[in-house]
Amino acid sequence: MKTVLITGANKGIGHEVARQLAAKGFHVFVGARNAKAGRKAADEIGKKCGKATFLEIDVADNDSVATAAREVTKISDHLDVLVNNAGIIVDGDDAILEIGDELFRKTLETNTLGPLRVTRAFAPLLRKSKAPRVISVSSGGGQLSDGADGWAPAYCISKTALNGVTVQLATALPKFAVNSVCPGWVRTDMGGKNASRSVEEGADTIVWLASEAPQDLTGKFLRDRKEIPW
Ligand SMILES: NC(=O)c1ccc[n+]([C@@H]2O[C@H](COP(=O)([O-])OP(=O)(O)OC[C@H]3O[C@@H](n4cnc5c(N)ncnc54)[C@H](OP(=O)(O)O)[C@@H]3O)[C@@H](O)[C@H]2O)c1
């Protein structure tokens, strides 16, 4: 049975990715830092769609990530797919010259360092897969090619740096498929109710990369199943 871990899967895009991959026959590890919300999400997905196991994981906390990797090792001898989905925008992230170090640090800790530390911790299990895949949920806000529009600078910079992590990991892990995805503007707690896309639309490219995309597609940034500029 194929296995996948999705971080921040208790709600939003991560929850939808978990639901769809369970329906496709994956054993889904539903990662969440909030045990109550994570257990509830895993129970719901397990009842309706297939095999889902709650996994407590706070991507901003090294000990939590290390414990989570040990827990998965007790249940499964391999991990096929890691979806680094957990992410935050911190209140007050609206003017580059006024952002304090703490806000910046907190944003980078979760959005950039988080995916790197989770990938590092789960690499031994991923290496045991025949076709390991790492998908990091980034944002068009992190693209450098069109310049910045000033919106949420710390968040956008954290996603630019996350894309750097993707490229470095793709080089370091040549047998893996490692990619970044922009889900578009999605109706979640983060995206708000006026966003243009449903969670199903936001999850589409992530689910495709996890299950159907060619294994030699690596080191790219994608939206709507197509490569986009960094
Ligand atoms: N929505 C959009 O328009 C949009 C656009 C581009 C990119 N994205 C990206 O898509 C991803 C998912 O966003 P979303 O829209 O689904 O947001 P969301 O509904 O706010 O969900 C974010 C998820 O990340 C979790 N999370 C945050 N910090 C965490 C940590 N330290 N450890 C573990 N989990 C943590 C949250 O857990 P709690 O419930 O405990 O807070 C929640 O499950 C993010 O990386 C985001 O940057 C979203």
User: Is the model's pLDDT at 109 over the cut of 90?
Assistant: yes
pLDDT given at position 122: 98
Contacts for 36 with CB less than 8 Å, ≥ 6 apart: none
Query: Is the CB–ligand 1 distance for residue 183 below 6 Å?
Result: yes
| Residue count (the chain) | 230
CA distances 80 to 3, 106, 135, Å, are 5, 29, 11
Query: Is the CB–ligand 1 distance for residue 40 below 6 Å?
Result: no
pLDDT tens readout for residues 140-157:
999 999 989 999 999 999
Lowest average pLDDT, out of 3-7, 45-49, 176-180, goes to: 45-49
pLDDT tens readout for residues 110-138:
999 999 999 999 999 999 999 999 999 99
Q: Is 159 a catalytic residue?
A: yes
Residue of 7, 11, 64 with the most ligand 1 atoms within 8 Å of its CB, for mutation = 11
Average pLDDT, stretch 76-104?
97
pLDDT given at position 49: 81
Find out whether 154 and 87 touch, Cβ atoms under 8 Å. no
Percent of the chain having pLDDT more than 70?
A: 100
Ligand 1 atom 20: the closest Cα is on which residue?
A: 190
Ligand 1 atom 42: the closest Cα is on which residue?
A: 8
User: Is the model's pLDDT at 78 over the cut of 90?
Assistant: yes
Query: Is the CB–ligand 1 distance for residue 211 below 6 Å?
Result: no
Query: Is the CB–ligand 1 distance for residue 87 below 6 Å?
Result: yes
Q: Where are the beta strands (DSSP E) in 58-211?
A: 81-84, 133-137, 177-181
**Tokens, residue 203:** 């999850």
pLDDT given at position 147: 87
Average pLDDT, stretch 86-94?
97
Rg of the chain on CA atoms, in Å = 16
Find out whether 11 and 189 touch, Cβ atoms under 8 Å. yes
Confidence of residue 180 (pLDDT cuts 50, 70, 90): very high
Q: How far is the CA of 159 from the centre of ligand 1 (A)?
A: 13
Q: How far is the CA of 115 from the centre of ligand 1 (A)?
A: 12
Q: CA quadruple 212, 216, 219, 221: dihedral positive or negative?
A: negative
- The span from the CA of 33 to the CA of 221, in Å, is 27
Sheet strand arrangement including 81-84 = 51-56, 27-32, 3-6, 81-84, 133-137, 177-181, 220-223, 226-227
Confidence of residue 198 (pLDDT cuts 50, 70, 90): very high
Q: How far is the CA of 167 from the centre of ligand 1 (A)?
A: 22
pLDDT given at position 61: 98
Average pLDDT, stretch 162-176?
98
User: Is the model's pLDDT at 14 over the cut of 90?
Assistant: yes
